[in-house]
Every structure is written in structure tokens, then in C-alpha cells.
């Protein structure tokens, strides 16, 4: 089974254990989901055709007269390491939360600090790709680098706001336990979910092919339908979470059987709509083909900087 498959299976069993109010097994499956998600993120971050081609065409640029972050290839390596470290810290914070759960009221300060550290490292992992936009990606302009600027700008915007949301939510974890009113925590968490959905929609629109479609059910539109169904499944998952956030105490487990059914079906749909290994191999081979195309980009004698992001 693939890493992504392990993540999806972990999330599905995690929801079942939440429904059953089996707290120890819930923590265990959540830890497995975090580990698999960390590995998947490490393998796939900055690994798309557009990002790789953009990095390939950038030239080495001096940064503040230091030897760090000058080589475009180091941007990807450092970013992946920092995000991997963030995932490991998240697993440690989850384990700390598990061992503090029996006396969570008195240990809430320690638990909050653990998750604030995780959020801080997530924000720090944004620095290398942000520097790349100001350094390597700014010193040269080609269609591939413009594409890199666009995609990376959206990703940094997404990761930055997500990190700020989680940092603030971690700092006010006490709001879930100090009294019966946890309105502030719910409001911030729901705002984060809607923000994430908005970014997912923007990225989905950006991935739509620019060429004209001949028919809605042709072979060329399969990937578009996969993205649409995947996005719809994510919407359903988030709607289940949002509906749970609006009722009862957040620290109490259990959920309705209907919500559990929608949650499980949505993850099954996500699994079958994932890109196949064959498609991923084809995407890797497409890097060379796309490079040849970009090298012959017709600018009709005009300066290509008019396309600058």
C-alpha cells in the first residue's frame, strides 16, 4: 500500500474510533496519519513538473553575501527537510498530548507550547521558497520561472496563513477547557477551514488545462474530472468537520452515524481519484518535453518580462 493509501486508511479508522469514543485508538491512528502525511509531503513537496522546471532554469544568485540559499536546488532540499522536521515535531507534540490527557487542565500550558513550536517551525519552512521568489526567481525571467512564481506564491500564501491560524489556535487551547464557552476557538478554526477550501479551489482552477476541450467526457478530461471529484470529496469531509464543530463540547467524542458514513465514503472517493503511479511517471518524463517547448517559446521579438508575475 502507498503512503497516501496508509494516510487515507488511518483517517478512516480515526473517524471510526472517534465515533466509538475509543480515545487510545483514536490517538494511535491520528499518529499514524501524521507520520504517513509527513512522509507523503516530504516526497511530493516542490516535486511537480512546473516547480522542477522553474528551479532548473533559475541561476545561482548571491543572497546577503552568504553561502546559503544561493543555489536554486538547495531551496527544494532545505524546504523538504524543514517540513519533514515539522511533521516529526507534530508527532512528538501529539504523543505529549496523549500522555497529558488524563490531567489536561493542569498540563494545557505545556501542550499549547508544544503545538506552538510545531506551528513556528511550519512558518520557518516557508522562508526558503519565499527567499527563492526574491532571489533566484527574480534574477531571471522565463515562462517556466513565471509559472514557478505563480504556483509558489499561492503555496506560500496558503502555508503562511495556515501556520498563523494554527499558532493562534495552539496559544488559546485553554479556551477549550477553562469554561463552557469555546466560541473563540471554534470561530478561528472554522475560519481556517474555509480559508483552506478557498485556496484548494484556486489551485484546482489553476491546474485546469489551457487548451480548448473537445468534449466533457473525452480522454483528455479524465484528470479534470478526477480533480473535480477529489475537491468535492474534500468539501464533504470539511462539511462533516464543520457540522461537528457547531454542536456539543469539542472535547467530547462521538459523531452521528450519517456524518461517519459521509466521511468514510469521501475518503474512499479520494483514494480512487488519486494520481496513478503511471501518471506520476509520465509527469516526470514530461519535464524534458516541456523544457524543449519552453526553450522555443515564441515571444515575437518582445521582451519576455511583459509576462512577469
| pLDDT tens, residue by residue, 209-265 | 666 656 666 666 777 778 888 889 999 999 999 888 888 777 788 888 999 999 999
Give me 38's grid cell: 509527513
Say how far apart CA 212 and CA 210 lie, in whole Å. Answer: 7
**pLDDT recorded at residue 105:** 84
Helices (H), the chain: 3-20, 23-44, 49-57, 72-100, 104-124, 127-134, 143-171, 183-207, 222-245, 257-272, 277-295
Q: What is the pLDDT of residues 195-210, one digit of tens each?
A: 888 888 877 777 666 6
Question: For cell 480512487, what's the residue?
Answer: 272
Asked whether 164 and 238 are in contact (CB, 8 A), the reply is: no
Which residues on neighbouring strands pair with residue 149, listed in sequence order? none
Say if pTM beats, i.e. exceeds, 0.85.
Answer: no
The full set of domain ranges for the chain reads: 45-207
Amino acid at each position: 500500500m502507498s503512503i497516501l493509501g496508509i494516510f487515507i486508511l488511518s483517517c478512516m479508522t480515526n473517524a471510526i474510533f472517534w465515533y466509538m469514543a475509543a480515545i487510545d485508538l483514536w490517538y494511535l491512528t491520528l499518529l499514524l496519519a501524521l507520520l504517513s502525511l509527513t512522509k507523503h509531503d516530504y516526497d511530493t513537496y516542490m516535486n511537480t513538473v512546473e516547480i522542477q522546471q522553474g528551479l532548473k532554469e533559475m541561476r545561482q544568485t548571491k543572497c546577503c553575501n552568504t553561502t546559503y540559499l544561493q543555489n536554486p536546488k538547495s531551496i527544494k532540499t532545505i524546504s523538504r527537510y524543514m517540513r519533514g522536521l515539522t511533521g516529526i515535531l507534530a508527532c512528538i507534540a501529539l504523543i505529549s498530548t496523549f500522555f497529558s490527557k488524563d490531567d489536561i487542565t493542569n498540563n494545557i500550558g505545556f501542550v499549547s507550547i508544544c503545538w506552538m513550536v510545531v506551528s513556528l517551525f511550519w512558518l520557518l519552512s516557508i522562508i526558503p521558497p519565499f527567499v527563492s521568489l526574491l532571489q533566484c526567481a527574480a534574477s531571471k525571467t522565463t515562462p517556466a520561472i513565471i509559472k514557478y512564481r505563480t504556483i509558489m506564491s499561492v503555496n506560500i500564501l496558503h502555508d503562511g496563513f495556515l501556520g498563523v491560524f494554527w499558532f493562534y489556535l495552539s496559544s488559546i487551547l485553554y479556551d477549550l477547557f477553562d469554561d463552557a464557552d469555546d466560541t473563540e476557538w471554534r470561530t478561528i478554526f472554522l475560519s481556517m477551514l474555509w480559508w483552506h477550501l478557498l485556496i484548494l479551489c484556486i489551485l484546482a482552477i489553476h491546474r485546469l488545462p489551457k487548451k480548448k476541450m473537445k468534449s466533457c467526457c473525452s480522454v483528455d478530461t479524465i484528470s479534470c474530472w478526477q480533480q473535480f471529484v477529489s475537491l468535492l470529496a474534500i468539501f464533504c469531509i470539511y462539511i462533516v468537520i464543520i457540522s461537528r464543530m457547531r454542536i456539543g463540547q469539542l472535547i467530547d467524542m462521538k459523531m452521528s452515524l450519517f456524518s461517519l458514513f459521509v466521511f468514510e465514503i469521501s475518503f474512499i472517493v479520494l483514494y480512487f481519484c488519486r494520481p496513478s503511479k503511471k501518471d506520476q511517471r509520465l509527469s516526470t518524463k514530461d519535464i524534458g518535453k516541456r523544457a524543449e517547448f519552453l526553450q522555443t517559446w515564441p515571444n515575437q521579438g518582445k521582451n519576455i518580462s511583459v509576462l512577469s508575475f
